Every structure is written in structure tokens, then in C-alpha cells.
């Protein structure tokens, strides 16, 4: 049997926590499937290099059949060379009492140079998923520095928020997560995000009828939007394994496609922060979370969903924050 051409995956922050949780699953085939060999390029800063080296040694010790090579570098121009998939994780996490936006000045400076290196060195089909916070605006910075790489190749993770929204709804309804469809995360990966149950179903019934609007449009939204802070309080450190899992699922669905329709219903969708072309009134050019499906290696926004007044207000508030972040990075000269 001929072996498929390997996919080159660049992971930044490979010596950090999320990097450690993601690398072994990627090498095992959880991201691109059991028939796609992978080549890993790991980018770290000098202080993180020893830890990344240790991860690379352990990867070798797993003897993963799909893993064709691991290279380490502290130079983005080397690490992004030929990248088909780029997972931009490397950046500082927040601590208790901070909002993700507080990281903008510290982390924003990382994403311009990385965007430029992607623009010059990555493969023509490169797909970029930003995990490092504030993820949407960091993705925007990378995209605006990446020359002629199509804007829609730059995305940010809201899959963790989406998965949290599914998990918390399932727990409230005492139903398995597989009973749930049609949740959307809108806007920014921040406390203003809007987990929207308007079109969600539990076993095919409107979710809002099952759990009640008072909860579904009240404490539920807060709980999902502040789950990252809740984890920080409990673990004394931000989400790691769930973030790595979400990053893997985001790229998997983007490259391999979201599932087809079952039982005659609409095809399921998920959430991802992608380049807006003005859909649902989100200003063009922002990287904002939408309901999305993927086919043929491209995200497509699920269009035509009704948006009532409550949802409109929530979406607009989160999008206003994205607009303010864009203005802030323009003022900082990062884009």
C-alpha cells in the first residue's frame, strides 16, 4: 500500500501545557485521521526549548506509526516552512482576576511576526488556528500580516466554548451530549461571547422548552462564558486538556468536514471564529464566532438562522468588543 503524503503541522508553544496535551494526540492520528502521516514542526522561544525537546523525545519513545519527523526551532521562518496546518498556541496564559483582553499587549506582539513568516514560508494550502489569547484578535493580527494568504485561512478557537456549551446543557437536561444539536457560540472568545440556544435541540425538541428560557438565557450564558475563569479558580491554571481537544477537533472538522445530516434533520454545525464577510451584521474583516459547517476543506457559515431581539443584543455586544480590540491593535501598530 502506498503511504499518503505527510501533512506538515507547525505547533507554537510546543513546550507549554496545551502543546504537551495536543502533540501526542496529533501524532496518534486524532486530528487528521488514521491514514494521514504527519510531520511536526515545533516553535518555541529559547526559555521553552528544553521542555519542547523533552516532548520531542517522548514522541520518539511512542514510536507512533504516523509520525514522520519532529523538528524544533526558535525561528518562525524555519518553523512555518511548508506548514499545511499551523496551531498558534504559544503565548502567555491569564491568571486569576484577569480578562483575556488584558493579554493583548503582551501576546499581540507575537502574532505579527508569525503571520509574516506564515505569509512567506507556509504551504499554499496553509490553515491557521489561533489558540493563544485573546484568540480572535491575535488571529486578526496574524492574518493582517500574512501578505496574500487568503483571509479565511486564519481562524480562532471557539470550539472549547462550544463544547462547554454542549456539556453544560446536557448536564442540565440530564441527557447525553449526543442528544444535543444546534448550539452556536457567537462573537469573541471572551466573557462577552454569546452561547445561543435559540436553534438548539435536545433529542429533537427545542432546548429552550426543555431547560426553560429563564435558565437558558440567564445563568447558562454566564456559566459558559465564564467557564475559563471557573477552571482557573479551581485548577489554579487555565484549561489545558480540554483546550488541546478543542483545537484538535477544530482542525479535524475544518480539514475532514463536519458530519452529514442524520434522520432527515439539518446537518449538524459547530462554532468557529472565522473571517466575516458581513454575515449576520458582523462587520467585514473581523474574526468572529459563527455557526459553521465545513466541506471540501472550507468553513461555511450557516446562513438564514433567525435572530431575535435578545440574541441581536448579545451578538452586537460581543462584536462591539471585537471592534474595540481591532482599534486597539491598530493603535498599537500591530496590524
Ligand X SMILES: O=C([O-])CC(=O)C(=O)O
Ligand Y SMILES: NC(=O)C1=CN([C@@H]2O[C@H](COP(=O)(O)OP(=O)(O)OC[C@H]3O[C@@H](n4cnc5c(N)ncnc54)[C@H](O)[C@@H]3O)[C@@H](O)[C@H]2O)C=CC1
Q: Pick from 39, 67, 90, 253 the residue near ligand Y by CB under 6 A.
A: 90
Total Cβ atoms within 10 A of residue 110: 22
Task: State how far Cα 176 lies from the chain centre.
Answer: 24
Three-state SS annotation for 104-119 = HHHHHHHHHHHHHHHH
Sequence-distant (≥ 6) Cβ neighbours of residue 20 within 8 angstroms: 51, 55, 240
The answer to the question of residue 55 lying near ligand Y (CB under 6 A) is: no
Which does residue 15 bind out of ligand Y, ligand X, none, counting CB within 5 to 8 angstroms by kind? ligand Y
Pick between residue 239 and residue 258 the one whose CB is nearest to ligand Y: 239
Q: Pick from 32, 142, 243, 255 the residue near ligand Y by CB under 6 A.
A: 243
Which does residue 108 bind out of ligand X, ligand Y, none, counting CB within 5 to 8 angstroms by kind? none
The answer to the question of residue 166 lying near ligand Y (CB under 6 A) is: no
Which does residue 45 bind out of ligand Y, ligand X, none, counting CB within 5 to 8 angstroms by kind? ligand Y
Pick between residue 1 and residue 234 the one whose CB is nearest to ligand X: 234
Q: How far apart are the first and last CA of the chain?
A: 47
Catalytic site includes residue 189? yes
Pick between residue 37 and residue 228 the one whose CB is nearest to ligand X: 228
The answer to the question of residue 239 lying near ligand Y (CB under 6 A) is: yes
The answer to the question of residue 12 lying near ligand Y (CB under 6 A) is: yes
Nearest to 200 by CA among 211, 215, 189: 211
Helix (H, G, I), strand (E, B) or coil at 176: coil
CA distance to 30, 154, 265, per residue, from 285 (Å): 31, 11, 32
Residue 312 CA to residue 307 CA, distance in Å, equals 6
Q: Pick from 91, 188, 245, 311 the residue near ligand Y by CB under 6 A.
A: 91
Pick between residue 67 and residue 141 the one whose CB is nearest to ligand X: 141
Total Cβ atoms within 10 A of residue 192: 19
The helix (run of H) or strand (run of E) holding residue 230 is: helix 227-235
Pick between residue 93 and residue 101 the one whose CB is nearest to ligand Y: 93
Three-state SS annotation for 217-257 = CCHHHHHHHCHHHHHHHHHCCCCCHHHHHHHHHHHHHHHHC
What b/e readout covers 201-238, taking b as 16+ CB neighbours within 10 angstroms? bbeeeebbebbeeeebbeebbebbbebbbebbeeeeeb
Which does residue 231 bind out of ligand X, ligand Y, none, counting CB within 5 to 8 angstroms by kind? ligand X
Window of 14-22, 57-65, 274-282, 305-313 that interacts with ligand Y by CB under 6 A: 14-22
Q: How far is the CB of 133 from ligand X (least distance, A)?
A: 5
Which does residue 12 bind out of ligand Y, ligand X, none, counting CB within 5 to 8 angstroms by kind? ligand Y
Q: Pick from 94, 164, 217, 275 the residue near ligand Y by CB under 6 A.
A: 94
Do 303 and 277 form a contact (C-beta atoms < 8 A)?
no
By CB under 6 A, name the binding residues for ligand X. 93-94, 100, 133, 160, 228-229, 231, 238-239
Where does this chain bind ligand Y (CB under 6 A)?
A: 12-13, 15-19, 43-45, 47-48, 89-94, 110, 131-133, 135, 157, 160, 189, 238-240, 243, 246
Residues placed in the known binding site for substrate: 94, 100, 133, 164
Looking at the annotation, which residues are catalytic?
189
| Residues that constitute the known binding site for NAD(+) | 13-19, 107, 114, 131-133
Amino acid at each position: 500500500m502506498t503511504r499518503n503524503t505527510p501533512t506538515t503541522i507547525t505547533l507554537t508553544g510546543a513546550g507549554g501545557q496545551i502543546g504537551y496535551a495536543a502533540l501526542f494526540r496529533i501524532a496518534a492520528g486524532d486530528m487528521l485521521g488514521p491514514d494521514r502521516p504527519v510531520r511536526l514542526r515545533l516553535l518555541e522561544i529559547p526559555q521553552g526549548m528544553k521542555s519542547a525537546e523533552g516532548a520531542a523525545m517522548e514522541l520518539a519513545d511512542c514510536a507512533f506509526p504516523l509520525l514522520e519527523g519532529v523538528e524544533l526551532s526558535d525561528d518562525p521562518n524555519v518553523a512555518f516552512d511548508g506548514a499545511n496546518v499551523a496551531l498558534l498556541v504559544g503565548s502567555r496564559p491569564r491568571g486569576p482576576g484577569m480578562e483575556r483582553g488584558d493579554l493583548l499587549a503582551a501576546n499581540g506582539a507575537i502574532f505579527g511576526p508569525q503571520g509574516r513568516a506564515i505569509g512567506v514560508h507556509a504551504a499554499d494550502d496553509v490553515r491557521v488556528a489561533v489558540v493563544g489569547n485573546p484568540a480572535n484578535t491575535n488571529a486578526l493580527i496574524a492574518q493582517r500580516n500574512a501578505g496574500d494568504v487568503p483571509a479565511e485561512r486564519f481562524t480562532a478557537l471557539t470550539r472549547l466554548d462550544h463544547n462547554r456549551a454542549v456539556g453544560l446543557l446536557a448536564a442540565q437536561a440530564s441527557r447525553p451530549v449526543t442528544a444535543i444539536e444546534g448550539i452556536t457560540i457567537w462573537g469573541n472568545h471572551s466573557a462577552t461571547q454569546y452561547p445561543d440556544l435559540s436553534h438548539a435541540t435536545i433529542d429533537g425538541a427545542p432546548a429552550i422548552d426543555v431547560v426553560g428560557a429563564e435558565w437558558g438565557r440567564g445563568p447558562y450564558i454566564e456559566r459558559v462564558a465564564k467557564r475559563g475563569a471557573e477552571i482557573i479558580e479551581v485548577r489554579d491554571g487555565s484549561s489545558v486538556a480540554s483546550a488541546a481537544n478543542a483545537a484538535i477537533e477544530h482542525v479535524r472538522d475544518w480539514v475532514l468536514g463536519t458530519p452529514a445530516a442524520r434522520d432527515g434533520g439539518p446537518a449538524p454545525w459547530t462554532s468557529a471564529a472565522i473571517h466575516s464577510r458581513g454575515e449576520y451584521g458582523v462587520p467585514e474583516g473581523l474574526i468572529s464566532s459563527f455557526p459553521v459547517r465545513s466541506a471540501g476543506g472550507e468553513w461555511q457559515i450557516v446562513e438564514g438562522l433567525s435572530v431575535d431581539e435578545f440574541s441581536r443584543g448579545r451578538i452586537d455586544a460581543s462584536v462591539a468588543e471585537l471592534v474595540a480590540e481591532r482599534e486597539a491593535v491598530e493603535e498599537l501598530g500591530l496590524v
